[in-house]
Amino acid sequence: MGCKRRSCKTKESKKTKDTKWIDYPSADEKGFGHGKFCYFLSCPSSELPIRDYVYRQKLEPHYETKSYNECLSCNQRGIRNACNRGISYILFYTKYQGKKGGYRHNYFVTGLFPISAWRRVSDRIAYRSDNPIFLSIEDSIELDDKLWRKWFGKDLPKDSRGSHNLRYMARFIEKNSSALEDILVVSMGKRAGTK
């Protein structure tokens, strides 16, 4: 079910592991438990909503090592200071471009990445999760105007041409928000095999 066009083997990156992994504060600690939406480009050659390694050679999120930003710098502006902002969860979302036609071109939350550790890699901050959850497209949460209004009080963001745009959907999510609560419930439920 992965990308079939080209091998999805991990490329050797030119990363420099400057520091060891450092434990990250838990979501239960005071001031922590918030989330951050981070997008990725999905793979057209896969049924799964995974990064586009085939056509764009994307390496993040790096499922193989349960890390984010270890191989390349992605969304650094939004998550570089995750600890200072109390971010405990990275919430991955994408515009699905995969092989399951009924889902194609729609937007989905496809992953819950509870941050367990961090470290500096060259000029960026990388994060690791001991228990990331990546969902199939069927189990992912579809982002549409109705759900976005429930969570944020307005329709899905659009660019100046009136088109939905992944970049405009990136946002900080408060700890006790219905958005984070819904994503946690659905993701944890799917991991446990419940509906």
Mean pLDDT of 126-144: 96
Distance between CA 43 and CA 57 in Å, rounded?
10
Beta strands in the chain (DSSP E): 22-23, 34-39, 67-68, 87-95, 107-114, 117-121, 124-128, 133-134, 141-143, 172-173
Residue 3 lies in a domain: no
Residue 4 lies in a domain: no
Q: How many domains does the chain have?
A: 1
Better-predicted residue by pLDDT, 85 or 17: 85
pLDDT value at residue 56: 87
Residue 17 lies in a domain: no
Residue 13 lies in a domain: no
Mean pLDDT of 57-64: 92
Residue 15 lies in a domain: no
Residue 1 lies in a domain: no
Comparing 18-22, 31-35, 108-112, 129-133, the range with the smallest average pLDDT is: 18-22
pLDDT tier, 189 (very low <50, low <70, confident <90, very high otherwise) = confident
Residue 118 predicted with pLDDT over 90: yes
Residue 32 lies in a domain: yes
Range of the domain at 172: 22-190
